[in-house]
Amino acid sequence: MSRCTRSLLALTLLVVAVALVTVACGGSGSGAHSLEGTSWRLTGWTLNSLAPDQFTITAAFAAGKISGTSAVNTYGGTYSSGAGGSGGAFSVGQLASTEMAGPEPAMRAERAYITLLQQARSFKVAGDTMTLYDANGNQSLIFARANL
């Protein structure tokens, strides 16, 4: 079994285990996070050298977990968000990812996305747009609502 296949299998098992623990403990996840049950596709960011629409970069929120595609690989981990329906505090925990290689521009986009995601400290949802902000209140990642 390749390293990539093992990593993907481990990530899948981790997500399933957390979902089972959440249900077993009586929590459905709904209401716990204002982003719960939403899915997004990256449409803008603070980088000028790479256009995010050239890559598939997504984020889905369910059961206290964030997961998605980060240009080349899939990723997942925990997140927390403020209780406000339209915005508030935001952070991600440690993220796990598959380890496939891809074209250099996509790999650069992936590294940049994960870095900006880990630096995000707040968010705001306005209509079908979610914006993540860094610790200084600067926009860093802009998403459009998606059906993933």
- CATH number of the domain enclosing 80: 2.40.128.270
Global pTM value:
0.76
Q: What angle is formed at CA 71 by the lines to CA 67 and CA 75, rounded to 5 degrees?
A: 25
Q: Do the Cβ atoms of 95 and 14 come closer than 8 Å?
A: no
Q: Which two tokens stand for residue 64?
A: 């206290």
Distance CA 23, CA 68 (A): 22
> What is the secondary structure of 124-147 as a DSSP string?
EEETTEEEEE-TTS-EEEEEEE--
Amino acid 86: pLDDT: 67
Q: For position 48, what pLDDT does the model report? A: 79
Strand 39-45 to strand 129-133: parallel, antiparallel, or no bridges (unpaired)?
unpaired
Total domain count, the chain? 1
Strand partners, 47: none
**Domain that includes residue 52, residue range:** 3-145
Going residue by residue through the chain (148 aa), what tens digit of pLDDT does each one get?
555 545 544 444 444 343 433 333 333 333 334 799 999 999 999 887 889 989 999 999 999 999 999 999 999 999 999 866 567 999 999 999 999 999 999 999 999 999 999 999 999 999 999 999 999 999 999 999 998 6
Q: How confident is the model at residue 30, as a pLDDT?
A: 35
**Contacts of 129-137 spanning 24+ positions with Cβ under 8 A:** 130/35, 130/38, 130/40, 132/90, 133/90
